[in-house]
A and B are shown apart, each in its own frame.
Chain A
């Protein structure tokens, strides 16, 4: 069949010699532009293989003459970005942490940088936006702090962590396991629970809470304060407010007194650089619960405990 090649009269093109029921196939050449584009892509590919990583080998790929790699490009871009941020990062590093709120442009940058670091290192426990996880990790957005919510205190907490036994400067305290270790009888625990629920205005005073008051004074007041106002030196939560990390109902309170959680937070001072920790502190401070710096000891604190900076 293939020897029936002939020149087609209408087009002047030769046929390939195939014929089906009178229908013949023309051997029309490829358009020149297409052919040259095709050749150009072959040349392009050859040059590319020499210049860029191309052939997969057992450990990695051929490197290419230009030495380009996607990881190297990312590193260069990160370096450029770090250089761009350097001045403001340096300024934040040089500034006194407590002065940041008075310098809005630094504070804003610190909050942004801290937010980025928070999303990498902190959200796993404290949740997006510092919302916390009920019965597990405290909210960082409210106005209740276990260890204190002013800037240097937050910085200190992040740097040294909470209850890291292998670290000297860590924040350390331990609530005894009153139930598990048999310090209190279950009935006594129930009375203590009644008392705690009374001072937080969840229950009306009664016989149980009256008994509980005595138990509280002997066992709890040393950390939680005589009236349950809490003690930040030891991270003892305030018991008179509406915020309960591990729950404020009877069952939760009983569980807490029986076997406390004594929550742990890792220390970040060894993993993050001081400026990042500073920015993290600023971010946490900005979430809504940040406390103004307590006046220095012997300072002129206003009677109502507010800061003596002239503001109401």
Chain B
């Protein structure tokens, strides 16, 4: 039986152990530098790209205009009712992650996830201000002094500047960036803009500056889902224990040739790890496969004259093969297996389907609503009139002229509320302002003799070059006889 003292002391809370990753150089570190530069440039720079769409639409290349319910992405303009394109993009992003995971493991986590990129950035700030790993540890353990306070203050200030810049860049996607920047600094921007910047500054400051690897290990659901995407053909950062074990220091290895493996237990792989794990314990949830331990180990192997790759990207299959004395498959072959091919096919099929549908869509949309009170009107000449509300969406950035006509209703004549029955004709010309929805009340009269309910078609046709339009079949009502 557990003693009462033991019960009282048992705790489910585990305090964070500080992570002070050591500076490292190598192929993967440089690759990470490159990815960081590209992703940050995309994030901070995209809203500032200009894109001329003429006088009737904004000239920002990527703009999520929530106020006017438009989404602009270079050549593509999406209206709220076309949200399935955005949904399609999100699905592609999801399947893209599946594809990436089944091919190269947790590469998203290791290289491109914002949490990783910003943590990496903040860890560089740490090194810049506090020095490398050992200096950081010393400073963390040192009692408070003027020096420590000054360094901490400077570091948090830099954190805050980065965090603010990050939050500030986010809102630029939702309004014209130069105008918003001006309004922001002159106090004229919307309260929601300041609120958003404040919240994102706070989250960046906290998640990037302090929580770091805890987000990956405790908060993020993706590592848990990821395991379902991976199999024995997925690339993992692997410590090749069959080559490294048993570990022994350089001196021991020299004293007893043949008794020890390649691992000299120098701990460099642990020292450089941004999440503080020991890769030599095998694959684990804390490993985001950033591959910095590969760089560190390769450096050490070069110094002691051993071949590189004691820690390396390796599939479980290859690990088994190498352990049995065989060789790994070439990387190209490792990437091509049924799972990746299936994911890639689905991913590209959705992409192609969306591109095709984007090319086919008409930018002139018609929605018809049948007036219900009254459903029909008896006219004095014995004819019947029905009333419809047309919603004409001109989704192009230019004013347009369209013709509205009906078919499938014998003897039909139509006019709008601006006209009168005397002006009734077979078709009606409507001017549509650029990038807008126009409502037209349409009166349709037809001879009285006929079925009580009859379907007919209302169609639009462009009169200014592009004749493509839209049509809708709707009911014409007459009194029951």
Cross-chain contact A139 with B422 (CB below 8 angstroms): no
Report which residue of B372, B374, B422, B423 has the largest number of chain A beta carbons within 10 angstroms of its beta carbon: B374
The contact string, 1 if C-beta is below 8 Å from chain B, for chain A 183-210, is 0000000000000000000000000000
Shortest Cβ distance from A227 into chain B, in angstroms?
A: 15
Size bracket, chain B contacts: 20 to 34
* B8 interfacial by beta-carbon distance below 8 Å: yes
Shortest Cβ distance from B299 into chain A, in angstroms?
A: 52
* A29 interfacial by beta-carbon distance below 8 Å: no
Cross-chain contact B373 with A9 (CB below 8 angstroms): no
* B54 interfacial by beta-carbon distance below 8 Å: no
* B14 interfacial by beta-carbon distance below 8 Å: no
Cross-chain contact A131 with B373 (CB below 8 angstroms): yes
* B238 interfacial by beta-carbon distance below 8 Å: no
Contact of B374 among A129, A238, A286, A312 (CB under 8 A): A129
**B residues near A241, Cβ cutoff 8 Å:** 380-382
Cross-chain contact B373 with A306 (CB below 8 angstroms): no
**A residues near B371, Cβ cutoff 8 Å:** 129
The contact string, 1 if C-beta is below 8 Å from chain A, for chain B 378-389, is 111110010100
**A residues near B464, Cβ cutoff 8 Å:** none
* Interface 9-residue window, one of A77-85, A89-97, A140-148, A162-170: A140-148
Shortest Cβ distance from A293 into chain B, in angstroms?
A: 12
Cross-chain contact B380 with A10 (CB below 8 angstroms): no
* B150 interfacial by beta-carbon distance below 8 Å: no
Cross-chain contact A101 with B418 (CB below 8 angstroms): yes
Contact of A143 among B387, B421, B448 (CB under 8 A): B421
Residues of chain A from 114 to 169 with CB closer than 8 A to chain B in the complex: 127-129, 131-132, 139, 141-144
**B residues near A11, Cβ cutoff 8 Å:** 8
Cross-chain contact B378 with A243 (CB below 8 angstroms): yes
With A10-B4, A142-B380, A286-B417 known as contacts, the answer to whether A312 contacts B422 (CB < 8 A) is: yes
* B87 interfacial by beta-carbon distance below 8 Å: no
Q: Complex: how many Å from CA A10 to CA B1?
A: 13
**A residues near B76, Cβ cutoff 8 Å:** none
The contact string, 1 if C-beta is below 8 Å from chain A, for chain B 426-462, is 0000000000000001010000100000000000000
* A212 interfacial by beta-carbon distance below 8 Å: no
Shortest Cβ distance from B281 into chain A, in angstroms?
A: 36
* B324 interfacial by beta-carbon distance below 8 Å: no
Shortest Cβ distance from A136 into chain B, in angstroms?
A: 14
Total CB contacts across the A-B interface at under 8 A: 65
Q: Complex: how many Å from CA A241 to CA B381?
A: 6
* B420 interfacial by beta-carbon distance below 8 Å: yes
Cross-chain contact A242 with B374 (CB below 8 angstroms): no
* B377 interfacial by beta-carbon distance below 8 Å: yes
Cross-chain contact B420 with A292 (CB below 8 angstroms): yes
With A142-B379, A144-B380 known as contacts, the answer to whether A242 contacts B420 (CB < 8 A) is: no
**A residues near B443, Cβ cutoff 8 Å:** 288
**B residues near A142, Cβ cutoff 8 Å:** 377-380, 385
- Residue of A with least CB distance to B419: A311
With A127-B373, A238-B380, A242-B448 known as contacts, the answer to whether A10 contacts B420 (CB < 8 A) is: no
* A296 interfacial by beta-carbon distance below 8 Å: no
The contact string, 1 if C-beta is below 8 Å from chain A, for chain B 263-299, is 0000000000000000000000000000000000000
With A101-B418, A143-B421, A238-B380 known as contacts, the answer to whether A288 contacts B373 (CB < 8 A) is: no
Cross-chain contact A10 with B8 (CB below 8 angstroms): yes
Shortest Cβ distance from A236 into chain B, in angstroms?
A: 15
Q: Complex: how many Å from CA A203 to CA B241?
A: 106
* A310 interfacial by beta-carbon distance below 8 Å: no
**B residues near A291, Cβ cutoff 8 Å:** 420
Shortest Cβ distance from B432 into chain A, in angstroms?
A: 15
* A12 interfacial by beta-carbon distance below 8 Å: yes
* A31 interfacial by beta-carbon distance below 8 Å: no
Cross-chain contact A288 with B385 (CB below 8 angstroms): yes
* B7 interfacial by beta-carbon distance below 8 Å: yes
Cross-chain contact B418 with A139 (CB below 8 angstroms): no
Shortest Cβ distance from A301 into chain B, in angstroms?
A: 14
Q: Complex: how many Å from CA A131 to CA B479?
A: 13
Cross-chain contact B382 with A12 (CB below 8 angstroms): no
Q: Complex: how many Å from CA A290 to CA B387?
A: 14
Cross-chain contact B8 with A242 (CB below 8 angstroms): no
- Residue of B with least CB distance to A9: B4
**A residues near B441, Cβ cutoff 8 Å:** 286
- Residue of B with least CB distance to A291: B420
- Residue of A with least CB distance to B8: A10
Query: Can you report 5 A-B residue pairs in the complex whose CB atoms are below 8 A from each other?
Result: A12-B8, A129-B373, A241-B381, A242-B380, A291-B420
Q: Given A131-B374, A132-B374, 20 other A-B contacts at CB below 8 A?
A: A10-B8, A11-B8, A12-B8, A127-B374, A141-B377, A141-B385, A143-B379, A238-B380, A242-B380, A242-B382, A243-B379, A243-B380, A286-B417, A288-B377, A288-B387, A288-B443, A290-B420, A292-B420, A312-B422, A312-B423
Which 4 A-B residue pairs are closest in the complex by CB-CB distance? A131-B374, A241-B380, A129-B373, A128-B373
